[in-house]
Every structure is written in C-alpha cells, then in structure tokens.
Chain A
Amino acid sequence: MDAASPAMASLKSGTSGRKGRINPLLFFYLGWIAAVLLAAIVGPWFFGDDALRQSLGQRLKPPSLAHLAGTDAVGRDILSRIIVGARPTLIIASGGVLIGLGLGTVAGTLAGYFGGFLDRVIMALVDIKLAFPTIIFAIGTIAVVGTSTAILSFVIGLTGWVTFARVQRAVVLRIKVQPFMEAASAVGASSTRLILLHILPNSVAPLLVVTSLDLVRVILLEASLSFLGLGVQPPTPSWGGMINAGRDYLQTAWWVSLAPGLAIMLTALSISRVGDWLRDVLDPDLG
C-alpha cells in the first residue's frame, strides 16, 4: 500500500527528560520507607522485649551509645519502641487510607459518571462530613464503640473518603468528555466497561497523589488520637502515643518526644515525595 509507507517510517520516542531525571534525595526517601516497612514487619521479633522492658534506674537518660535515642520515663529504650511502634502505626494508617480510597473512589466515580440525583446525594454527604470536625467525629465514635486496630482504621478511613470522592468526581467529569469515551461508546462499550477499563485506569495518577497526601494525614491523625489517648493503647508503643508520653518532659528530656516526632515527619515526607515521583512516572499525559 503506497499511502502507507510514510506512516511506517517514524515512531516517536516515548521517553522524555522529565521521567529520566531522578532526584538523588529520592533514594533516601525510598530507603526510609523501606526501613520503616522492615521495622514494621520484623521489628517486634527483635526489639519486642526491649520496647517493653522497664528499668527505673535508666529513666529519662539522654541519647547515648547504650540507648541511641535515649530512654523514656520508665526507662524503656526509645529506639526499640519506635521500631516496634512502626507496625501498629502503619497498619492503622494504611488500613485507614485504603478504606478512604475505596469508599471515596466508588462514591466519586458514581457521582461524576451518573450525575443527577445520585451526584447531589453523594455531594451532600461530602458537605456534611466536611462540616463535621474530624477529631470530634473520631472521639465520638471511639467513645461509643471502643478502640482497636480495626476500629481505628475504619474511623480514620471514614474521615478521609471525602477528599478521594471530591478529587475522583472532578477527574471523572474531566475524563467523561474525552473523545476516547465517546469512541468506546461507539464500539458498544457498556457503562461498567467504561468505568472499569477507561475511567479508573486514567484516574490512577491523581488518586495516587491524594493517597500519598492522605497517608501523611492519617499518620498525623493516628498520632493525634494516640496523643489524646484514643489510639493505640499502652503498653503497645505507637509513634503518636510516644510523643504524648514525652509531653510532660519537654523541658527536661526533649528526646522522649523528638525521636517519634522525627520518625513521623520523615515517614510523612518520604511518602509524599515518592507519591509525587510515582505520579510523574505513571501519568501518560505528562510524558
């Protein structure tokens, strides 16, 4: 076919400078996330005893070779407690984010795709949720049903779905009018197919950004709840609870709160930066 030959000639290269460049700090962030994951998985086997062993003679010791991050008010090794505390912190945070992501994506997709009455109902629920202070909601729920890892995840998830829902609704409204959606309808694609195969895969990049932001939010929320005594119950260590435990000694033993604070900050920062990077890698439109 004569007309065809020029079309065979060229195939644009898909790689671009933007994806090729990797910030060296990214390796640090990835390394930190890996370390936290490792601590969450195997930490309790190695440091479980140290995290709970009290030693009144060693109370409130500053960082030293024996206790790299110092000791707390009852002489427990703070570094061990941070390592052991990674597991409950991460389980609650990731559980909460997954629940929020799931609920919010479904609600946002339905609202954006079908519109009309369903859209108004879902968006009304979003407004109600937004008008309700998160901490009050969490305190109220936990006061009624008690606290456990599962309950904490669920409560945190319920406080976070609205962000996902609003973002996903906006994304769906944008994708819905893309020509490829009409082209898919023209070849007979059903609503289910349009949503599952066309809308959701094209929503991954924006949802990923929200997920990484929300992970940061729920880690901080879990810390706040533990700080208020509503989160992980003692003696199990969690990062938020550890900051709370050091509150009384901020003037005299700053390290009790500092180390878990640093752990939260670094984890939040790493997740957010890695999330941004993943978005750039995954988003075909930016390539």
Chain B
Amino acid sequence: MSIPASPSDFALPLLQLDDVCVDFQVPKAQGGKATLRAVRNVSLQVMPGESIALVGESGCGKSTLGRVMVGLIEPSRGSVLYRGRAMNALNRRDQQSARRMLQMVFQNPYGALDPRFRIHRSVREPLDIAGLGSRAERREKVARVLGLVGLGPRHAAAYPKQLSGGQLQRVGIARAIVTSPEVLVCDEVTSALDVSAKIQITELLVELGRELNVSYVFISHDLGIVRQVATRIAVMYLGRIVELMDAASFYRGALHPYSRALLNSVPIPDPQLQRDRLSKILVGEVPSPTDPPSGCAFRSRCPLAQNICREVDPALTPRKGSHLVACHFC
C-alpha cells in the first residue's frame, strides 16, 4: 500500500462528472432538426480546494459543461455526482440543498441581476429561496458577504444600473457565495470587464477561495487569467476534453497540439518572438459541432494529423503523473 502524497488524496471529489454528454436539438438551415453534441463523454472530478480551468475556443462546450455542473442543464447521458451521490437520484429536498453547494458566477454582470431588485435583495434572493435563517440573520449575512466582496451599505441600497461593471460582478460573486457553496463555477467572469476591473475581480476570487475554502471551476479563454488562478487545466475542443493536467506544468509541458496552439495564441510583448510564433498559430475555423470530423475532432486543423486520426477518436490516456492527453502522436 502506497502512502498518499497529500491529504487531498484521501478526500472524495466534491463533484464528479461521469461520461457526460449534452445534446441540443437545433433547427437546420434546410429545415428539420440537427443534433448538436455540445459536450461529448466528459469525465472530470472537482476535488476540495482545487481550481480547475476549462479552456478552449468559443463553442467548445465549456460553458455548457459549467451549466451541467450547477444543474442548469441536465446531461443527455452520463451522470453528475455530488459527494458521491447522483444528482438526479436525489429527492427534491436533497437536490435543492446539493445545488446550493454548487453556485455560478455569470459572464455578463450587466444582465445577471434583475434591474428591479436593489442589490441587497439580489444578494439575499438565494437565502430567501432556500429559506435559510430569520429575516434579521439574512440581512446580516448579506451585509457580511457584500463586505467580503468589497461593497458597502451604499451599494446595497442601489439598483444595478447605478453600479459599474466591476461592482456588478462583485455583486454576482456575493450572490453566488451567500449560501456558502463548496464549488463555484465562474463563467468568463472577467471577459466583460475592463483591464483594471479584470485584475481586481481575479484577485478577489483568489482571496475568497482561500478564505472560504471553495473549489473553483474557471471557464475562460484567457490563459493569462487562468495562469493566476488555476491548479488544474482542462483543455476542451468540440465538446471533448483533449488534455487535462496540472496548471503548474501546463505552460511548458502541454502535449496536445491544440493546447500548444492555444498557448502560442497568447500574445507576448516581444515583436521578434511574436513573429516567430505567428506561424504556429492555428489556422482555419472550428468545424461545425453538428457535423464533427470523423475520428479525432481536431484532425482537420492538426499539424500532426495522419490516417489513423481519421478513423480512431483517441481516448484520454495517462502520461506522466496525472497528466491525460487524447492524441495518437503525443
């Protein structure tokens, strides 16, 4: 029997996705319906205290996967387990309390708050719905959480239109953490913000993660932000996870050609180096998810593609340590 490397090896995953698929029916241009498989056979575990980043181009299914995690979308196949128990097998009550532990911060801070609710009411809403605590306790909790995200009583009494994007995103975070969740899914939370607000919100999330002991799932296409917050990185392409590895080694050790291409697309402030890298940046468009390529989904844009890629969809297989890659040639 080997000795576990860290205490977290003992821990059960908070959230476990087993072979999850999500299909959408979309109308075809020629009439009729097509099946869009937004998420394909994804298995992923969220451990206590870790921060997983889901990265990939728009349309790769990362937001859909995030919504599956918090229960906004039912998987078409596969299961979502919270602390080892399947969400859809729980009774209504247990399911509601499980979903309180899985919260989400949304991409667009301007739209994610009801314009008719004052800030304190929006932040209190999750407590009202759950029926947690007395009125006075809820009020006090709301004030405390708003304080945690750096907002005061003046903001609490305001309407959303009176706040800036960064302030609104703080409210979105306050609303998500008010029920003391264990997993917080952050869907492109900084993409609608200006640069300074981006940095502040990122720092706030890192700080809250430490204080509240919450696990994060960061959905992002911004590898710069991901670098600051993630402990593990899952690279998604056309609904699949193509590479899953520790964030610390990702920037040097990523193997999948798509991960390499993503890394190369981050601009660096050195004209000479940047010119050299431009040649390696990905060409072409993401294939339509209603009609993905046979075999490996990435082969149509892959510099390494061979005949086998046309026939066999590579499985996620382990490399060194916990590093998983889905590719025939790396």
Please, how many angstroms separate the alpha-carbon atoms of A6 and B203 in the complex?
13
In the bound complex, residues from chain B placing their C-beta under 8 Å from that of A178 are 111
Closest A residue to B150 using CB positions: A4
Q: Which among A3, A5, A184, A188 is the interface contact of B96 at CB below 8 angstroms?
A: A188
Say if the beta carbon of B323 comes within 8 Å of chain A: no
Closest B residue to A10 using CB positions: B164
In the bound complex, residues from chain A placing their C-beta under 8 Å from that of B207 are 1, 3
Q: Given A11-B155, A183-B112, A284-B159, do A193 and B170 touch, yes or no (CB 8 Å)?
A: no
Interface centre among A5, A7, A14 (most CB of B within 10 A): A7
B162 touches A14 (CB 8 A): yes
Q: Which of A1-51 contact B (CB under 8 A)?
A: 1-8, 10-14
Q: Given A179-B111, A187-B175, A193-B129, do A7 and B159 touch, yes or no (CB 8 Å)?
A: no
Closest A residue to B109 using CB positions: A179
Please, how many angstroms separate the alpha-carbon atoms of A206 and B149 in the complex?
35
**Per-position contact with B for A215-246: 1 when CB-CB < 8 Å, else 0?**
00000000000000000000000000000000
Question: Number of residues in B with C-beta < 8 Å to the partner?
Answer: 46
Q: Given A4-B150, A7-B167, do A179 and B112 touch, yes or no (CB 8 Å)?
A: yes
**Per-position contact with A for B155-166: 1 when CB-CB < 8 Å, else 0?**
100110111101
**Per-position contact with B for A81-100: 1 when CB-CB < 8 Å, else 0?**
00000000000000000000
Closest B residue to A183 using CB positions: B112
Q: Given A7-B166, A12-B164, do A186 and B150 touch, yes or no (CB 8 Å)?
A: no
A284 touches B116 (CB 8 A): yes
Secondary structure at the A interface, as helix, strand, loop or mixed, is: helix
A3 touches B204 (CB 8 A): yes
Say if the beta carbon of A127 comes within 8 Å of chain B: no
In the bound complex, residues from chain B placing their C-beta under 8 Å from that of A116 are none
In the bound complex, residues from chain B placing their C-beta under 8 Å from that of A13 are 162
Q: Which among A10, A14, A182, A202 is the interface contact of B159 at CB below 8 angstroms?
A: A14
Q: How far is the CB of A100 from chain B (nearest CB, A)?
A: 24
In the bound complex, residues from chain A placing their C-beta under 8 Å from that of B72 are 182, 185-186
Q: Given A183-B175, A184-B114, A188-B96, do A8 and B163 touch, yes or no (CB 8 Å)?
A: no
Interface centre among B158, B167, B170, B196 (most CB of A within 10 A): B167
**Per-position contact with B for A57-68: 1 when CB-CB < 8 Å, else 0?**
000000000000
Please list the residues of chain B having a beta carbon within 8 angstroms of any beta carbon in chain A: 70-72, 96, 99-100, 103-104, 106-108, 111-116, 125-126, 129-130, 148-152, 154-155, 158-159, 161-164, 166-167, 170, 172, 175, 179, 196, 199-200, 203-204, 207
21 contacts between A and B (CB under 8 A): A2-B203, A3-B200, A3-B203, A3-B207, A7-B170, A12-B161, A12-B163, A14-B162, A179-B106, A179-B107, A180-B113, A180-B115, A186-B72, A187-B175, A188-B96, A188-B129, A190-B129, A202-B114, A284-B115, A284-B116, A287-B161
Beyond known contacts A1-B204, A178-B111, A180-B111: 12 more, CB 8 A cutoff = A2-B203, A4-B200, A4-B204, A7-B167, A8-B150, A11-B163, A13-B162, A179-B112, A187-B103, A187-B175, A201-B114, A202-B116
Please list the residues of chain A having a beta carbon within 8 angstroms of any beta carbon in chain B: 1-8, 10-14, 178-180, 182-190, 193, 198, 201-202, 284-285, 287
9 tightest A-B contacts by CB?
A: A4-B150, A179-B111, A187-B126, A284-B115, A3-B203, A3-B200, A183-B112, A179-B112, A14-B162
